[in-house]
Amino acid sequence: MGMFATPTLFDIILRVMKTIDWRLCLVADSEAAGSRNLIYIIREAVDAGVTLVQLRGKNLNIRAFLDLAVQTSELLKSRILTQF
């Protein structure tokens, strides 16, 4: 048996949660956005300082939600800052 115990699911979740910047969270809801472009809203919010985006699309079908998630992911990847 090795020196180190296998991490539990709780340990893994805790480690991930510690890496998330929780200072300002945007709940990006496709229904609340109405006719406004949700990607535009997310872009503006991130540019204004949002550090975490929760994507919601209760009124979207799976394909539309996944398309929105991919667009959101691509937008956020271009704005990730590495901190040392």
Instruction: Show Cβ contacts of residue 32 under 8 Å, excluding neighbours closer than 6 positions.
Output: none
pLDDT of amino acid 13: 84
Q: Where does residue 28 rank: exposed (0-12), middle (13-18), buried (19+ CB within 10 A)?
A: buried
CB contact burial 36-70 (16+ within 10 A = b; e otherwise): eebeebbbebbeeebeebebbbeebeeeebeebee
Model pLDDT, residue 84: 29
**Consecutive 10-residue averages of pLDDT for the chain (84 residues):** 78 84 89 95 94 92 96 86 37
pLDDT confidence of residue 15:
86
pLDDT of residue 20: 78
- Whole-model pTM: value is 0.74
What pLDDT, on a 0 to 100 scale, did the predictor assign at position 2?
A: 56
Q: Which amino acid is at 68?
A: L
